[in-house]
Amino acid sequence: MEPKKRTRHVSKAKYETTLDSKAQHYLNALKVRWMQLHDIPGLFAYQLQESRPGRKLPGKCGFYAELNADRTLKRRVPQTIESLSPTFRPKQFNFNKVDAMEVMMTIDEERDNAEVQMIINKSPITKYHTLICPEVKKELVQRITCSALNFCITFMRNITDPNMRLGYNSPGALASVNHLHFHLLHIPRNLYIDNVELKPLAGNYVYRLKNKEPTEAICFVFDGKESEDDLKEKVQQIHQITEWLCNNQLPHNLFMTHDRKTNDLRVFLFVRSKYCVNKDACVFNVGFCELVGFLPVGDEEKLQSLTEQVVIDRIKDLTGDAFETAYRQTKRIIDGSNSTLWPILI
């Protein structure tokens, strides 16, 4: 007879203070627990090697490709998510179905009265690869909520490890599971996105990449000096943009990282014109990892043959001209002249 699973009781005492003061404590505990679970045979789909073959692609961008054949062969089959306004399907895999041992911790964020589960990614890309899953029991689809965005930004602003990065893939932009989640990864190397130069787009905290950069992105900068009202406004503005993108069926990716020089938090938003229904093995897929210059590949041949120009061409093909409209809408939202969030012709 299968042993009865124990009910886990979370002590509320440890959550009396806000996420601002506890984020680093949570991260420290998460790292310890992740390593403990990684040593348990059969819990992860594979054991992530401490040292993995990698290659910096020749060229000015500094794209870095890393071999992870196990993820290609052993990961769960990605779901087909039909649109940016999908329906939750409880019979499909979702995070209510994971084993209790996979949940490393549950954080009660008092500010938004939200419960966030930190769950191991069973097919990790990097060490400490964790799924941040807000309000799991509410069965939220893979569409960013303001509360979830606020949690992620607050968490990232208050940790001190610059190698921890946070990402999100929308439906049509490499999302694998239609249940709201973000990715927390440990990438201890200088990435393409760490070196891009920015130029002002709107207000005094929203930027785009300079024209000399081969890719496009919107970037919100959080300098740590924001008042609580300023922080709330910035979070709401990013959420307005992602809602507009969803309403206009524009797939998107999000990436949060600390500026390596100033320690400001940068929140990058990438937009594409092409909706990817299924992940495929041709060339390589493009999610938030690839857009920032970190390229997990599935076999040795791709690792050795991939070139900077192939990466740039693939990203540009998926991006199309979606950014021009996104830039205009961002200016409307930030400058306070946002007259509508209804779909417009693009």
State the pLDDT confidence band at 336, using cuts at 50, 70 and 90. Answer: confident
Q: Is residue 45 part of a domain?
A: yes
3-state secondary structure of 251: coil
Are 150 and 158 in contact by the 8 Å Cβ rule? The answer is no
Which pair of structure tokens corresponds to residue 234?
């910035």
Q: How many contiguous H segments (helices) and E segments (strands) does the chain have?
A: 9, 13
d(CA 162, CA 13): 29
d(CA 139, CA 286): 26
pLDDT of residue 209: 98
297 pLDDT higher than 80: yes
Side-chain half-sphere exposure of 260, counting CA atoms within 13 A: 12
Q: What percent of the chain has pLDDT over 90?
A: 84
11 pLDDT higher than 50: no
pLDDT of residue 339: 46
Q: Is residue 7 part of a domain?
A: no
Q: Who has greater pLDDT, 5 or 271?
A: 271
In this predicted model, what pLDDT tens digit does every residue of 233-267 receive, in sequence order?
999 999 999 999 999 999 999 999 999 999 999 99
DSSP state of 312: H
pLDDT of residue 342: 43
pLDDT of residue 279: 57
For the segment 156-172, the average pLDDT, to the nearest whole number, is: 97
Question: Measuring CA to CA, which residue among 258, 248, 250 is closest to residue 216?
Answer: 250
State the pLDDT confidence band at 59, using cuts at 50, 70 and 90. Answer: very high
In this predicted model, what pLDDT tens digit does every residue of 62-116 receive, in sequence order?
999 999 999 989 888 889 998 999 999 999 999 999 999 999 999 997 666 679 9
CATH number, domain containing residue 301: 3.30.428.70
State the pLDDT confidence band at 2, using cuts at 50, 70 and 90. Answer: very low
Are 80 and 277 in contact by the 8 Å Cβ rule? The answer is yes
Q: Is residue 343 part of a domain?
A: no
Q: Is residue 89 part of a domain?
A: yes
Q: Is residue 151 part of a domain?
A: yes
pLDDT of residue 139: 98
Q: Which residues of 81-104 are buried (b: 16+ CB within 10 A; e: fewer)?
A: beebebeeeeeeebbeebeeebbb
Question: Measuring CA to CA, which residue among 42, 36, 47 is closest to residue 70?
Answer: 47
Q: Who has greater pLDDT, 340 or 220?
A: 220
pLDDT of residue 8: 40
DSSP states of 255-276: EEEE-TTT--EEEEEEE-SS--
State which residues form the domain around 103: 19-335
Total number of domains in the chain: 1
Annotated catalytic residues are 181
Average per-residue pLDDT in the chain?
Answer: 91
188 pLDDT higher than 90: yes
d(CA 103, CA 105): 6
CA dihedral 210, 175, 236, 260 (to 10 degrees): -50
3-state secondary structure of 108: strand
The CB density around residue 17, as the number of other CB atoms within 10 Å, is 10
For the segment 211-228, the average pLDDT, to the nearest whole number, is: 96
pLDDT of residue 276: 86
pLDDT of residue 16: 40
Q: Is residue 227 part of a domain?
A: yes
Q: Is residue 189 part of a domain?
A: yes
Q: Is residue 247 part of a domain?
A: yes
216 pLDDT higher than 70: yes
For the segment 157-174, the average pLDDT, to the nearest whole number, is: 97
